[in-house]
Structure 1
Amino acid sequence: MQVEQVPSPNFNDRKHKVDMLVLHYTGMESGEAALTRMCDPSAEVSAHYMVWEDGRITQLVAEDKRAWHAGVSVWQGDTDLNSRSVGIEIVNGGHDVPLIDGTLAPYPDVQVDALIALCKGILSRHDIPASRVVAHSDIAPARKTDPGEHFPWARLAADGIGLWPSSAALSLDESSLMPGDSGPAVSDLQNMLHAIGYGLEANGTYDETTRLVISAFQRRYVSAQITGAADPETLERIANVYGLIAGAA
């Protein structure tokens, strides 16, 4: 795997060891525009790597340095995620630059193959649990939607990168929870999402923060229905992901 070096000035020293991998899309008109921005000192943004549509990989910041990609974020109770993570920007317009018909541009197979190879290398160099391979939208659900519901998380998980619950485990009932609901069932839901890693505390009320976290979860695991409502499939998926994490603890 060849990696082009284009150093960015936007980095500083880490305060923690690396134990996370955060995936983003660039959300710009082109990879060239994203690269220029991440190398602009006034932008104050960067990532360790960028993966182009044709599978090329560019490194901007050394892995032992703190790149500036996560912003204000939280996962599994940790903050300053820039100090804890390797950040990868994947060239894709996403929601910011959709296709002319309004759909999201797909991630080409050659790009995903290169990303998988890059991630495997990173995971071989750092002790990163599967539960800490995350989307930008996971760690900042009120602000971010990348790498988007069109990102192939299941394909990465099949190669040992991140988590993916088995669809065969679904045995749906008719229960659901909606924004505005309250009570012990909502508290249980919030506790499971918090245990998975989302920055959500159990207050027993299906409030706006809960809706945003549910939307982020759906964007990754139930991508056909990003409603913010905890329908039966979403509830079952949450329980399955929670079970994967609890079983690995």
Structure 2
Amino acid sequence: MKTLFLSLALLLLGGCAGGLRIDDSHTSVSQSSRVQYVVLHYTSTDLDGSLRVLTRDGVSSHYLIGDHPAKIYRLVDENRRAWHAGESEWQGRTWLNASTLGIELVNEGYRETANGRVYQPFSEEQIDALILLLKDIVQRHSLPPGSIIGHSDIAPQRKVDPGPLFPWKRLADAGLVPWPDVRAVAREQARFALALPTIGWFQQQLARQGYTTPQTGVLDKATRSVIAAFQMKYRQRLYDGQPDAETAALLLVLNGMPH
């Protein structure tokens, strides 16, 4: 009898030791990456401060890119959620930590001076490294055009990074970001100079881009913040938040492109 009990015990233990078994021989074609967007940030501090904040202080990002040298640090595995987006929204999706990858670039952001904010430029090698990383991410996750966005895009009421000196056009030239045709913009700008659209039109076009925008027809502070975020990306010489003919032309041309 003791021998029988011992045999049964060993059999049960053997079954437990075998663990969970899952058959992976069938794969559904109806699937895609959980990553929908890549959000770009600047850190507002130097490399040592950036590493300290992003690894110890309750916020994080998947990647950090140094300035000199432009070393790429992986701080959070892409399969896990990083705490970089905060309260955010884009294209109707909210709280984007769950569906985005965050990339922080070491950059001190801006200094307040008597003449206003003075932003720090990004190094060439840093942007070169960023482009290589973005191309790899876009390819692996099959991300469509328009999937690379700034923190200021998803939180225009409280964030300005990566700021007006971030070279979005370089990313566009690398095939990573949609960019409006300058001739089409000039043509539409001349037309809008004769008759500027209503504030409601601007709000609708900004929402089509993906921004969370009031739909009131009133040029309030929130709407100006969204316009400024858009201008900071596509018209960096002037981002005053005012709805003008050039901004209208940029919106119209961009909204006619795949994104």
Classify the TM-score, shorter chain: 0.7 to 0.9
Q: Which runs of 5+ in 2 are unaligned?
A: 1-32
Whole-Å separation in 1 of the counterparts to 2:97 and 2:123: 27
Whole-Å separation in 1 of the counterparts to 2:101 and 2:134: 10
What aligned pairs does 1:188-207 form with structure 2 within 5 A after superposition?
Answer: 188-207=201-220
Q: Which moved more, 1:133-142 or 1:165-174?
A: 165-174
Corresponding residue for 1:209?
222
* 1:123-155 Cα shifts (integer Å, max 9, x gaps): 111132222210000000011000010000010
CA contact (8 A) 1:27 1:97 kept: no
Q: Which runs of 5+ in 1 are unaligned?
A: 1-15, 178-183
Across the aligned residues of Structure 1 and Structure 2, the Cα RMSD in angstroms comes to: 1.9
Matched, 1:69 2:56: no
Matched AA of 1:242? N
CA contact (8 A) 1:18 1:127 kept: no
Corresponding residue for 2:51?
35
Whole-Å separation in 2 of the counterparts to 1:97 and 1:91: 19
CA contact (8 A) 1:18 1:86 kept: yes
2:144 to 107, 123, 129: 129
Corresponding residue for 1:48?
62
Identity %: 40
Corresponding residue for 1:150?
165
Matched, 1:218 2:226: no
Q: If each structure's helix is expressed as a fraction of its own residues, which one has the higher value?
A: 2
Whole-Å separation in 2 of the counterparts to 1:67 and 1:148: 21
What aligned pairs does 1:17-32 form with structure 2 within 5 A after superposition?
Answer: 17-28=34-45, 30-32=46-48
Deviation at 1:165, TM superposition (A): 1.2
Whole-Å separation in 1 of the counterparts to 2:195 and 2:42: 31
Q: TM-score, structure 2 length as denominator? A: 0.80
Matched AA of 1:25? Y
Whole-Å separation in 2 of the counterparts to 1:119 and 1:92: 18
* 1:178-226 Cα shifts (integer Å, max 9, x gaps): xxxxxx8222211111011000142211111110100000110111111
Corresponding residue for 1:229?
242
Deviation at 1:17, TM superposition (A): 1.1
Matched, 1:186 2:199: yes
Q: Structure 1 pair 154/236, CA: closer, same or farther in 2 (3 Å)?
A: same
Number of equivalent positions: 220
Deviation at 1:175, TM superposition (A): 5.1
What aligned pairs does 1:54-133 form with structure 2 within 5 A after superposition?
Answer: 54-95=69-110, 103-133=118-148
Q: Structure 1 pair 58/211, CA: closer, same or farther in 2 (3 Å)?
A: same
